Amino acid sequence: MSLLSLSFAAAMAPAGATEPAAMERWRSYAGVTWEAPAEGNTADADSVNAPIAGLHFDRAGRAFVSTPRLISARSPATLSVLHTGHESGPARLRAFPSAEGNSVAAAPEQHLRNVLGFHVDARNGWLWALDMGFVAGEPEAPVGAQKIVVYDLKSGRTVKRIGLDAVADRKGSFLNDLAVDERRKLAYISDSGLRSAPRNQAAIIVVDLESGRARRVLDRHVSVMPEAGVKVTAHGEAVWPGHPLTLGINGIALSPSGDTLYWTVTTSTKAYSLPAALLRSSASDAQLAAAVTLLGDVGGNTDGIVAAADGRLYITDVSHNGIVRFDPQTRRMELLGANEDVYWPDTATLTPDGDLVFTASRLNAHFAGAVKPGAERYDLWRLKLPR
């Protein structure tokens, strides 16, 4: 860890905090490919437009990744299995559930088009995929394209498909991520409303798998909206000068019991929570708004968030190139680890053995067209958590 990263950690950590944790670059890929290249072969021609964003593991340690079609619609798949046996070269991907299941040209209500957030459900043996619906170049999502699709992890068969057009705007919504209550079979979606910025159509969407019903709550509430006057920064520089990133609610997570929902806002530095029981009830938006709790200041702009088995939260801090930990018991927020070689820490997830792994693929630079083909680098970082 560099001296600058250590100074960030020292500034963030309160008195009595633990020493900054060491992070290692676990995998580092020169782009992606859906082929099976011989050693030394290069990534796919359009690899620069398919940065690895989402990452989750199943119980066997199989890694799933998302490559959202936000820059280009040409990627063979937006959801894939990553062959982690390869530590470098291009990331070897295999479309999940199949290449046909990821087809942009096929029926939009039945095929995956643009996945950023997804969840691997260990309890039920499923994968919940959140489809934004639109792909690069489309002004709005086709009818039926915004959806959740639940797959069987072993067979890839579709367990259930739930359309979201009734609760998400096909032009203005940006279905970013989801948290899943595996026991109750409920999904909580963060709609950051990026496509309707600066007046983001941001909200939380609650989906009941068994009934297929979905409802939109806290629509444009202050806790899900970009914070006025806040700039998103990474490596000391403003993101997209002249056209600043205005992103509402992004990272979203559930406590291990499923009793508390947590979320963060990227164009802000705040974290919030809400009793999930209220979201499972018929509580009005006024009642929900009254129950929202401000957890505190994360210290920087954020992206992904995950809750560990002990209830502590781990939040990616894109401003300080690292991971912030929040302890719900002590209410302490601290920069647990940081490294100047981390560029845009995105999705944070836990491995079957309890390590924290997160993606860092310079997403801000890719979306700005600032990464040249052949120069892409998609890293997976690991941080060992106390056992």
- Quick one: which of 381, 344, 339, 319 has its CA closest to 1? 339
Residue type at position 340: E
Judge whether residue 4 has pLDDT over 50: no
**Alpha-carbon dihedral sign for residues 238, 71, 176, 214:** positive
Place of tokens 């009734």: 166
Q: Write out pLDDT tens, residues 323-364.
A: 999 999 999 999 999 999 999 999 999 999 999 999 999 999
Residue 224 DSSP class: G
Place of tokens 């006057």: 229
The pLDDT of 144-157, averaged and rounded, is 98
| Euclidean distance between CA atoms 43 and 41, whole angstroms | 7
Domains and CATH numbers, the chain: 3-383 (2.120.10.30)
- Quick one: which of 338, 307, 306 has its CA closest to 323? 338
Q: Write out pLDDT tens, residues 172-189.
A: 999 999 999 999 999 999
**Alpha-carbon dihedral sign for residues 48, 53, 56, 61:** positive
Cis previous bond, 244, omega within 30: no
The rounded Cα 301 to chain-centroid distance in angstroms is 14
Report the pLDDT value the prediction gives residue 39, as an integer from 0 to 100. 58
Judge whether residue 6 has pLDDT over 90: no
